[in-house]
Amino acid sequence: MSPRPQSPPVVADHRERRAIVIELVIVFTITLGLSAARSLLSFLDSLLRPEPLAEQEVALHSPQASIALVDMLQQLLGAVQLLGWAGLGLYLLWRAGFTASAVGIDLRRRGRDLLLGLGLTALIGIPGLALYLGAWSLGLNVAVVPSALDETWWRPITLTLSAFGNAAAEEILVVGYLLTWLRQLGSGENSALLVSAVLRGVYHLYQGIGGFVGNLVMGLIFGRIWQRTNRLSPLVIAHTLLDVIAFVGYAMLRDHVSWLP
């Protein structure tokens, strides 16, 4: 893996530094930081319930309306919201002089990005599934139901769009956007990486300890790869594939295999 590209100089002006901090607080208050707070409260609620964690379940996608057409539109709006979060991160970086290409989202290295994305999918996906099943069997995780949607023609479409929305929002905000600004503030690479990875873990804490640990490790790997390569596209590719496999794959397999919770 090649050394990371040269970073712009650290922002020294006090007013500019304060503006960056305020921006970070505002952005994450309305996006994944808010999700992290809600996830933490959800985990506390799960711990305080009388039934063990392994006997509880959480659905990542559930029906939002009794009428199929309205439900489809609700699911699509969820994906639109995630893409809006991703767009917000890219827009704010662009306003500050960082193009999408500057954080590694472009088509210049399509082949390499795709290969790296596929490799990351295998690297994260297989151990991640084993960690989840192990944590659930030990009573450290709730049963995660990726999709509780009824079988409809549009279910694979909305689940795939949701997977892409999740990937774009998380990788752009928690990796490209957050780590860029932490560099500008002069944070060390390791400390910035830890902040990013812990945030990723916390907003998955509603799943239990396994969800937190698995996503913390994923955040450490993804964040370090970006720090070294400045390529965000492979991370979005890998994350999208992981979620498509989880969302669509679960919906197809849940009635045909016995080992899924």
Nearest to 162 by CA among 260, 83, 225, 102: 83
125: Cβ contacts below 8 Å, ≥ 6 apart = 241, 242, 245
Beta partners for residue 57, in sequence order: 143
Contact 193, 106 (CB under 8 A): no
Question: Which residue's structure tokens are 């698995």?
Answer: 214
Q: What is the pLDDT of residue 3?
A: 45
Please determine, for residue 133, whether its predicted confidence score (pLDDT) is greater than 90.
no
- 46-104 pLDDT, tens digit per residue, is 999 999 999 999 999 999 999 999 999 999 999 999 999 999 999 999 999 999 999 99
Given pLDDT bands bounded at 50, 70 and 90, which one contains residue 247?
Answer: confident
Q: What's the burial of 45, exposed, middle or buried (CB within 10 Å: 0-12/13-18/19+)?
A: exposed
Question: What is the 3 state secondary structure string of 67-100?
Answer: CHHHHHHHHHHHHHHHHHHHHHHHHHHHHCCCCC
For residues 8 and 75, what is the distance between their CA atoms, to the nearest angstrom? 40
112: Cβ contacts below 8 Å, ≥ 6 apart = 234
Token pair in block for residue 190:
């390791």
Q: What is the pLDDT of residue 2?
A: 43
Percent of all residues in the chain with a pLDDT value above 70, rounded to a whole number: 93
Averaged pLDDT for residues 127-140 = 90
Question: Which residue's structure tokens are 């949607």?
Answer: 149
Q: What is the pLDDT of residue 1?
A: 43
Q: What is the pLDDT of residue 254?
A: 64
48: Cβ contacts below 8 Å, ≥ 6 apart = none
Helix (H) or strand (E) holding 28: helix 14-30
- 193-221 pLDDT, tens digit per residue, is 999 999 999 999 999 999 999 999 999 99
- 152-193 pLDDT, tens digit per residue, is 999 999 999 999 999 999 999 999 999 999 999 999 999 999
Give the three-state DSSP class for 110.
Answer: helix
Contact 210, 139 (CB under 8 A): no
Averaged pLDDT for residues 3-32 = 87
What is the pTM for the complete model shown? 0.92
Among the residue ranges 47-51, 52-56, 231-235, 245-249, the one predicted with the least confidence is: 245-249
Token pair in block for residue 127:
């151990």
247: Cβ contacts below 8 Å, ≥ 6 apart = 60, 61, 146, 147, 159, 160, 162, 163
For residues 214 and 127, what is the distance between their CA atoms, to the nearest angstrom? 9
Please determine, for residue 236, whether its predicted confidence score (pLDDT) is greater than 50.
yes
